[in-house]
């Protein structure tokens, strides 16, 4: 009975309030809803556009993050970590075998391979190697390369002083080019317990046709 009384009071109060609303205002009461719906629509559209912009920025920002931290096996290219104290060969340490791999996407009519398959270095020692690319196309083609290091946990210690990654490379028909990779392994590698069983590190590049790799646009080098 108590619920019935409340419902009766609520119904009566609602009816009385409705009767107090002038007819003219009731006619225009749909306008705020229209404006509210329009505002909601504009808000939704702005969120969609913002998310679209973020999605385009996500790849370069993620790549920038990986390049500065070594996350996900991405070699570090942060120049702040290339101080003279880091470039002191740890002669008494074990040598690390660094191997080089190459891949090309089906959309890129190039041959691409490392000129050396492997080198042995100690942490702190710099090394220079080259990859060679040659175009088999009948027209100019622009390629762009991505890279990573395995095992992934070693990526934060693999520092590249110079490389051709994420930079557009244009080759004319039949043209070939040698592309340098100048790198070293950070001496802190020796202090990390997780690196004790790591004796081989692999640097792998994959070249794509630039026009089919919109999300891989080059980024500015870190200072």
CA distance 95 to 119: 10
CA distance 193 to 121: 19
Q: Is residue 206 within 8 Å of residue 147, measured between CB atoms?
A: yes
Using alpha carbons, select from 94, 97, 171, 86 the residue that is nearest to residue 131: 171
Can you give the pTM of this predicted structure?
0.61
Q: Is residue 91 within 8 Å of residue 112, measured between CB atoms?
A: no
Q: Is residue 143 within 8 Å of residue 207, measured between CB atoms?
A: yes
In tens digits, the chain (223 residues) has pLDDT values of 444 444 444 443 333 333 333 333 333 333 444 455 555 555 555 544 444 443 333 344 434 444 444 444 445 555 556 677 778 889 889 999 999 999 999 999 999 999 999 999 999 999 999 999 999 999 999 999 999 999 999 999 999 998 888 889 999 999 999 999 999 999 999 999 999 999 999 999 999 998 765 544 444 333 3
Q: Are strands 110-114 and 118-121 parallel, antiparallel or unpaired?
A: unpaired
Q: Is residue 146 within 8 Å of residue 104, measured between CB atoms?
A: no
Give the model's pLDDT for residue 11.
40
């Amino acid at each position: 009975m108590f619920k019935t009384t409340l419902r009766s009071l609520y119904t009566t109060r609602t009816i009385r309030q409705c009767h107090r609303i002038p007819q003219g205002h009731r006619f225009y009461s749909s306008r705020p809803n229209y404006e509210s719906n329009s505002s909601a629509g504009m808000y939704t559209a702005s969120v969609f556009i913002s998310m679209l912009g973020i999605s385009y920025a996500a790849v370069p920002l993620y790549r920038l993050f990986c390049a500065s931290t070594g996350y996900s096996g991405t070699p570090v290219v942060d120049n702040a970590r290339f101080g003279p104290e880091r470039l002191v060969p740890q002669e008494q340490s074990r040598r690390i075998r660094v191997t080089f791999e190459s891949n090309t996407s089906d959309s890129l009519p190039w041959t691409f391979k490392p000129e050396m398959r492997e080198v042995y270095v100690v942490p702190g020692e710099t090394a220079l190697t080259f990859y060679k690319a040659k175009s088999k196309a009948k027209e100019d083609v622009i390629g762009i390369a991505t890279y990573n290091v395995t095992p992934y946990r070693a990526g934060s210690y693999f520092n590249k002083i110079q490389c051709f990654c994420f930079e557009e490379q244009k080759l004319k028909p039949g043209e070939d080019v040698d592309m340098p990779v100048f790198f070293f392994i950070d001496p802190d590698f020796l202090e990390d317990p997780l690196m004790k069983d790591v004796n081989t590190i692999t640097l792998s590049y994959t070249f794509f046709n630039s026009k089919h790799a919109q999300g891989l646009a080059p980024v500015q080098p870190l200072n």
